[in-house]
Amino acid sequence: MEHTPHQGPEATTDSPMPPSRGEHTVGFIDLGTNSVRLLLVRMNPNHSYTVLSEQKETVRLGEGEFRSNTLQPEAMRRAGLVCARFAEFARARGATDVVAVATSATREAENRAAFVRHLRHVANIDVRVISGKEEARLIYLGVSSGSNIGNRQTLFIDIGGGSTETIVGDQKEHTFLDSMKLGAIRLTTRFFRPGETGPVSPAHYARIQRYVSTRTVRTLERLRNFKIEQTIASSGTAMNLAEIVMRREHKRGLARGDVVTRAQLRSAIQMLCDLPLERRREIPGINPDRADIIISGAAILETLIQELDLPGFGISERGLREGLPIDYLSRADNAHLFEQTSFRERSVLELGRRCGFDEPHARQVVRIAWELFDSARSAGLHNLGSWERELLEHACLLHDVGAFVSYSNHRSHSYYLIRNADLLGFDQTEISIIAAVALFHHKALPRLKHPEFAELDKRARDIVRILCLFLRIAESLDRTHLQALSSVRLRLGKKKKKVFLDLTPNRDCHLELWEVRTHERAFETVFGRKLAIHLLENDASPAPS
């Protein structure tokens, strides 16, 4: 099956950029609250991909979590075994990359860091934990790219085990993304006792719906501002409900283009509620493994349909898993050849502009920080690559956004805003790195006594220490916000014990020179070499070293 890239503005990355290269194989793992899914694809040189294999296993990662916000040992063990098997399968079939993301159950767990380490150990994969809105964006990419939507304003509903994502958009772009802490496993945990297997009374089902109504008030208010022309539901809950309806109403399986009416949905839910669990498992069209959670998932879908007065919904079997290869393709070095743009940068700039940041100053800091980064790499001071360079860019753009709250201690406000802004296209590790670099761009270097630094793993801490040094030097070199320097460069002295910072001014830069000297000790701490400041004339050669 051939796929062409999604032609919209959603070119993003939530991992290091893939190289521009010829045909190669990639495995994509979607680690959800209920299931783990694998999509193995061949990436083609023409910016398309071919599906080689699709696999799914129910692991119930979120089982027992939502009472304690802690992933349970047995659930983690099950998920680890499946992820290891999927990763081994992908690599055995030639996958050069295995891209894995985790959603609601993992992002809300207090022990998520331990779980990510467990997966790295047992499956040799680095799982990226994504935000709810990023999950919604990837779902949009997966569903919209497989649907003939055109210009019709469409509501997308995806009901997972721990969260429900709603999106509004057309074929080209989305205009609304939201993620709610409502899911089939989450509500089952809340409203059903362990071992409760009898029919579900109307009063019991109504209690679930009232809870959903309460928890969706703000989302529904925003959705009512859109003129919804059609609704597409995805995920196992919606697929099972639609399959049940088609077998009851039309005596056949679900087909492409089928629409479930509100009345048909109500009738199917009533039948499910009337049956005990064992008989529910036998209903034609249902996945028996989903019989215990389908009523909770159905309550979410029916409540949204009722509250928005929608006539019904269509179905897509696609979802987040199918969005991952499209997102991957949009990050390739030659993505611009396929009319893709950087959604990550757009997301960062939107936050900066909402906070009224000084954009010319921020871009000048980016330029200087990049010159420092690149020249330091050429001098052998670090071996960071394009991914870390991009994170440095975003930290530079956002380092002062906290001044929107208060200039006093604005770096802490910047950290908070970045961590809580739901930047799209980024995973939680990337957001944590960007926020920490912004936090430590002034005053003390990061140490383990700082909780914002200590929560990162060792690799991320090493990255933050280097990037925040580049940011603090770059910030100082635009101290007056007058772009006083035309170029900067770091170079090793002849004996390699000293590093020279060559500065080429285009106007008076006494304040910049005074400020950058305050970072000499920090530079020596990070790189183990003394820093010497050297002011050049325009087009001058470096001073003897």
503 neighbors 535 (Cβ within 8 angstroms):
yes
Task: Indicate whether 14 pLDDT > 70.
Answer: no
| Same domain for 183 and 68 | no
pTM of the model: 0.75
Task: Indicate whether 543 pLDDT > 60.
Answer: no
State pLDDT tens for residues 375-400.
Answer: 999 999 999 999 999 999 999 999 99
Task: Indicate whether 210 pLDDT > 50.
Answer: yes
Residue type, 372: L
Q: Quick one: which H or E segment has residue 179?
A: strand 174-180
Last residue of a domain, one of 331, 357, 379: 331
**Domain membership flag for residue 138:** no
Residue 270: which residues within 8 A CB-CB, separation 6 or more? Answer: none
| Same domain for 267 and 226 | yes
Task: Indicate whether 104 pLDDT > 60.
Answer: yes
- With residues binned 3-state (H G I as helix, E B as strand, rest as coil), the percentages for the chain, rounded to 5, are 45, 20, 35
| CATH number of domain containing 493 | 1.10.3210.10
Beta carbons within 10 angstroms of residue 463's beta carbon: 21
Q: Which domain holds residue 504?
A: 343-535
pLDDT of residue 46: 65
Sign, Cα dihedral of 113, 117, 122, 126: positive
**Domain membership flag for residue 142:** no
pLDDT of residue 5: 36
| Same domain for 239 and 208 | yes
Residue 121: which residues within 8 A CB-CB, separation 6 or more? Answer: none
**Domain membership flag for residue 55:** yes
In degrees and rounded to multiples of 5, residue 63 shows phi and psi of: -65, 120
State pLDDT tens for residues 161-173.
Answer: 999 999 999 988 9
Last residue of a domain, one of 265, 283, 317: 317
| Same domain for 252 and 157 | yes
Last residue of a domain, one of 296, 331, 366: 331
**Domain membership flag for residue 80:** yes
**Domain membership flag for residue 136:** no
State pLDDT tens for residues 434-461.
Answer: 999 999 988 888 999 999 999 999 999 9
Integer Cα distance of 5 and 99 in angstroms: 18
| Same domain for 127 and 99 | yes
372 neighbors 474 (Cβ within 8 angstroms):
yes
Which residue in 467, 428, 460 sits closest to 445, CA to CA?
467
**Domain membership flag for residue 360:** yes
| Same domain for 98 and 175 | no
| Same domain for 100 and 35 | yes
Residue type, 187: L
| Same domain for 326 and 309 | no
520-527 vs 458-476: helix crossing angle, rounded to 10: 150
Integer Cα distance of 359 and 361 in angstroms: 5
**Domain membership flag for residue 281:** yes
Integer Cα distance of 365 and 345 in angstroms: 16
| Same domain for 325 and 302 | no
> How many structural domains are present in the chain?
3
Taking the CA atoms of residue 138, residue 139, residue 140 and residue 142 in that order, the dihedral angle to the nearest 10 degrees is 90
State pLDDT tens for residues 236-271.
Answer: 999 999 999 999 999 999 887 889 999 999 999 999
| Same domain for 358 and 325 | no
Which residue in 263, 244, 223, 499 sits closest to 375, CA to CA?
499
State pLDDT tens for residues 492-527.
Answer: 988 778 999 999 998 888 898 999 999 999 999 999
| Same domain for 307 and 199 | yes
Integer Cα distance of 31 and 100 in angstroms: 7
Integer Cα distance of 191 and 526 in angstroms: 53
**Domain membership flag for residue 382:** yes
Task: Indicate whether 490 pLDDT > 90.
Answer: yes
Integer Cα distance of 463 and 472 in angstroms: 14
| CATH number of domain containing 183 | 3.30.420.150
| Same domain for 389 and 350 | yes
pLDDT of residue 17: 47
| CATH number of domain containing 38 | 3.30.420.40
State pLDDT tens for residues 329-358.
Answer: 887 655 544 343 456 787 788 899 889 999
In the chain, what's the furthest Cα-to-Cα distance? 87
